[in-house]
Amino acid sequence: MKWFVKRACVTLGASLVLSAASLVYGPATQADEISVTQWGSSLYGLPYAVAMDKGLFKKAGVDITGILTSGGGGTTVRNILASKTPYGEVAVAAALAAQRQGLDLVIVNVGTRSVAEASMVTMPGTNVQTVADLPGKKVAITSPKGVSEMLLLMVLKQKGIDASKVTRVASGGYVNGLTMLEQGAVSGAVLIEPLSIVRKASYRTVYRAGDVLQPMTTSVGITTREFAKSHPDELRAIIAGRRAGVDAVYADPAGAATLLQSSFKLTPDVAREAVDNMVKSRMWSDGEFNRAELDRMTDGLKLIGELNGDVDWSKLVDTSFLPADLKAKSTL
């Protein structure tokens, strides 16, 4: 494999498009590394892996040779700020938190726009058949105010269920939540792909978040305003290379699944199912902004107390580094 991973801290979770474009191909720059949240453990970064493997970043004019990773959130933002090439893909919540802390960041593209990888499971034979059966029950989430709790609360709200009647229990991780479920400490546990596919024979799915909730922006590309000003062509090349990776995933899901299989050490069937599920939901964005999808994410962040009030996206987003067609498609 032509690319490699520098792993700072990997956790299983995150939380957490189609049209071909004309890219301006220029001479490759010096080798660089960028950051992607949950690299190596979630499906967010698959287009980057494909783009590196196929040399699409080089064709776009930048030589991305590796990905720096973290468990997400503030750690990823700090990795970005400390790197020579301060571009990275982070959760929307992390970008907003960094901005509130006074970090001079700018959002330059959208990464992912689906929660189809998230679900909740229970043990076979239990009396929890649907979301309507959750009041009075305990559900394992990964951590308070995390993405897993946010999506659970959004599903409950969408289904008209009083969230105060569903006890959320912090497990510390998806695998830990499954252990609690198997031991009878909780009646349900939130889950994320590809773990939900690997373990699907052991549990019954209560809901898939993507079947209940509308698309929402889940990750964005960020950089510093200084880097955007001083290296605009390099930034455009990174965004273009990633977009080419997205197009390649949608054009050849089987090839992307083979790459995922080797990097995640999955069986061929599991890797293909994971990629097919995300392709079906159009998880990976070409990079354009959609105001409604951004606002759905902020609505969720309000539910867990991570955000008060509305976000003035005009102060955070700069569409000038997107290709012309994506700028035209963006709604802010």
The backbone torsions φ and ψ at residue 47, rounded to the nearest 5 degrees and listed phi first, read -60, -30
Domain ranges in the chain are: 4-114+215-329, 118-212
User: What per-residue confidence (pLDDT) applies to 327?
Assistant: 97
> For the structural domain made of 118-212, what CATH number should be given?
3.40.190.10
- How long a stretch of residues is the chain? 332
The Cα–Cα gap between 51 and 83 comes to 20
Asked if the domains 4-114+215-329 and 118-212 are classified in one and the same CATH topology, the answer is yes
| 89 contact partners, CB below 8 Å, separation of at least 6 | 35, 36, 37, 44, 45, 48, 111, 219, 220, 221, 222
**Terminal Cα distance for the chain, rounded:** 39
**Tens of pLDDT, residue by residue, the chain (332 residues):** 433 333 333 333 333 322 223 333 333 445 688 888 777 767 889 999 999 999 999 999 999 988 877 666 666 687 787 788 999 999 999 999 998 888 889 999 999 999 999 999 999 999 999 999 999 999 999 999 999 999 999 999 999 999 999 999 999 999 999 999 999 999 999 999 999 999 999 999 999 999 999 999 999 999 999 999 999 999 999 999 999 999 999 999 999 999 999 888 889 999 999 999 999 999 999 999 999 999 999 999 999 999 999 999 999 999 999 999 999 999 99
User: What per-residue confidence (pLDDT) applies to 263?
Assistant: 80
Count other C-beta atoms under 10 Å from residue 22's C-beta.
9
| Closest to 63 in 3D by CA, of 32, 38, 21 | 32
Report whether 283 contacts 209 (CB < 8 A).
no
User: What per-residue confidence (pLDDT) applies to 18?
Assistant: 27
Report whether 224 contacts 86 (CB < 8 A).
yes
| Closest to 123 in 3D by CA, of 106, 107, 140, 136 | 140
| 230 contact partners, CB below 8 Å, separation of at least 6 | none
User: What per-residue confidence (pLDDT) applies to 8?
Assistant: 33
User: What per-residue confidence (pLDDT) applies to 167?
Assistant: 99
Report whether 171 contacts 200 (CB < 8 A).
no
The amino acid that residue 7 corresponds to is R
Domain 4-114+215-329, classified CATH 3.40.50.300, yes or no: no
User: What per-residue confidence (pLDDT) applies to 109?
Assistant: 98
